[in-house]
């Protein structure tokens, strides 16, 4: 079997790179072993404002310019909705925070998103003594549904193998690589936290950040926007909400924990007074990097081995931009932005 690319891992990183391959009529085969699930459990939010400090996310506007049409193309391809517009209401903790909000609204990068008004309306079941700041033009991608649909699509075309990629069986030559009976011009590794097992790239400084999420049913909570305070409460419809997420820098498993659940409940109850029932508890590991930038580039010695990883806490927005940059680098020799290139760690 001869292909242009082997792709290892089908989370948001793999999906974004495959999209580049599809658009450019390149052939590929994908390996996926379900050892990680960050993209499947993700809240899926896109929002260009850091909600702690009210500053702009790195390159957010450019990222969104690419990301929104990227997800729209899948909606067209599968005739299904994945992108749900969702305003965000940030609960203020103090008068000082209210003032910071108004200052931040002057940032020309953020005027499209931050509403320069204090929302004081009372919503039943929510405690917000200092009111809310509202963000608009934000939303959620149903990453789970999108990835499921894409996997089915690849399965039907026999372009995906549900098995672990065995690094020791990869043979590397000057102009191609071979793996079992497959010969490919290049291989792109998109394993998320699975990177830790990759002998070619595991030297890169990935700081895994485990996150846990609850799904709750709260019949008396009637809001159609995302509430952000100690945790976020994201409406899924019919009074179901996702609540998350925790950050744990020590636990390297993708399994939900008792401590994670308790933390989410405590934080949720600090501002939601409506009764609720937990219907699901999930976890995953965010592949984050110390400098909060993606890991993109080729191996220092083997130019036909590439990596697309380090999407961190914002894979929904970053993946399409990082994938496009990698594709142009591999196919056209375009230089990678120093901020995302793995050359910064060599
Ligand atoms: C709780 C939580 C909430 C989040 N919320 C948001 C959010 O609201 N908005 C946002 O933008 N981001 C969010 N994120 C972050 C986002 O999920 C990540 O940035 C993104 O999903 C990372 O994608 P990835 O493809 O790099 O990794 P992954 O999704 O982990 O995908 C890697 C894939 O590679 C496969 N794999 C690994 N090793 C091998 C191997 N040897 N052989 C075959 N397959 C292999 C794995 O099974 C996996 O499917 C959240 C993450 C978590 C955990």
Q: Identify the helix (H) or strand (E) that includes residue 153.
A: helix 143-156
| Interatomic CA distance for residues 104 and 52, integer angstroms | 12
DSSP state of 110: T
β-partners of residue 83 are: 141
Ligand 1 atom 15: the closest Cα is on which residue? 313
Name, in order, each residue with C-beta under 8 angstroms of 165's C-beta and a sequence gap of 6 or more.
Answer: 6, 8, 31, 33, 179
Whether residue 51 contacts residue 90, with contact meaning beta carbons closer than 8 Å, is answered with yes
| Closest among 90, 107, 94 to 55, alpha carbons compared | 107
Rounded to the nearest whole angstrom, what is the distance from the C-alpha of residue 233 to the centroid of ligand 1? 21
Query: Closest ligand 1 atom to the C-alpha of 285?
Result: 53
Rounded to the nearest whole angstrom, what is the distance from the C-alpha of residue 12 to the centroid of ligand 1? 6
Name, in order, each residue with C-beta under 8 angstroms of 14's C-beta and a sequence gap of 6 or more.
Answer: 7, 8, 30, 32, 188, 190, 308
**Structure-derived torsion over alpha carbons of residues 7, 8, 11, 12, reported in degrees to the nearest 10:** -40
User: 20-39, pLDDT tens digit by residue?
Assistant: 999 999 999 999 999 999 99
Tell me which residues of the chain have a pLDDT lower than 50.
none
| Interatomic CA distance for residues 86 and 146, integer angstroms | 18
Question: Nearest 5 degrees, angle CA 109-CA 115-CA 119?
Answer: 155
| Token couple for 141 | 């991608």
Q: Quote the pLDDT of residue 196.
A: 95
Q: Quote the pLDDT of residue 224.
A: 95
Ligand 1 pocket mutation pick from 146, 180, 315, 326 by most atoms within 8 angstroms of CB: 315
Q: How many CB atoms sit inside 10 A of residue 99's CB? A: 11
CA-based R_g, the chain, Å: 21
| Token couple for 70 | 């990227």
Whether residue 89 contacts residue 226, with contact meaning beta carbons closer than 8 Å, is answered with yes
| Closest among 40, 184, 64 to 112, alpha carbons compared | 64
Q: Report if pTM > 0.75.
A: yes
Query: 190 CB under 6 A from ligand 1?
Result: yes
Interstrand relation of 28-31 and 2-8 (parallel, antiparallel or unpaired): parallel
| Closest among 88, 51, 137, 31 to 314, alpha carbons compared | 51
């Amino acid at each position: 079997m001869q292909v242009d690319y082997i792709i290892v891992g089908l989370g948001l990183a793999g999906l974004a790179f495959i999209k580049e391959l599809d658009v450019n009529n390149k052939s590929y085969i994908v390996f996926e072993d379900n050892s990680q699930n960050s993209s499947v459990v993700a809240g899926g939010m896109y929002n260009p404002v850091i909600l702690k400090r009210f500053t702009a996310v790195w390159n957010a506007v450019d990222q969104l310019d690419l990301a929104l049409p990227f997800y729209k193309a899948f909606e067209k391809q599968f005739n299904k909705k994945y992108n749900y517009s969702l305003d965000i209401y940030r609960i203020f903790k103090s008068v000082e925070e209210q003032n910071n909000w108004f200052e931040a609204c002057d940032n020309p990068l953020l005027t499209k998103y931050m509403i320069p008004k204090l929302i004081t309306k009372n919503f039943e079941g929510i405690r917000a003594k200092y009111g809310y700041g509202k963000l608009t033009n934000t939303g959620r991608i149903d990453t789970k549904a999108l990835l499921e649909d894409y996997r089915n699509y690849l399965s039907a075309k026999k372009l995906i193998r549900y098995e672990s990629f065995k690094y020791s069986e990869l043979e590397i030559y000057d102009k191609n690589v071979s793996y079992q009976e497959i010969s490919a011009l290049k291989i792109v590794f998109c394993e998320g936290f699975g990177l830790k097992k990759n002998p070619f790239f595991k030297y890169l400084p990935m700081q895994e950040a485990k996150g846990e999420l609850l799904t709750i049913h709260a019949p008396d909570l009637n809001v159609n926007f995302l509430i952000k305070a100690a945790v976020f409460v994201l409406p899924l419809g019919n009074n179901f909400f996702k609540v998350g997420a925790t950050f744990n820098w020590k636990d390297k498993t993708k399994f939900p924990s008792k401590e994670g659940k308790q933390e989410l409940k405590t934080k949720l109850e600090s501002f939601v007074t409506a009764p609720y029932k937990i219907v699901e508890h999930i976890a995953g590991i965010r592949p984050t990097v110390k400098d909060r930038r993606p890991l993109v580039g080729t191996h220092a010695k083997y130019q036909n081995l590439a990596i697309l990883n380090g999407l961190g806490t914002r894979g929904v927005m970053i993946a399409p931009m990082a994938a496009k940059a990698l594709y142009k680098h591999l196919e056209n020799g375009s230089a990678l932005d120093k901020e995302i290139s793995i050359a910064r760690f060599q």
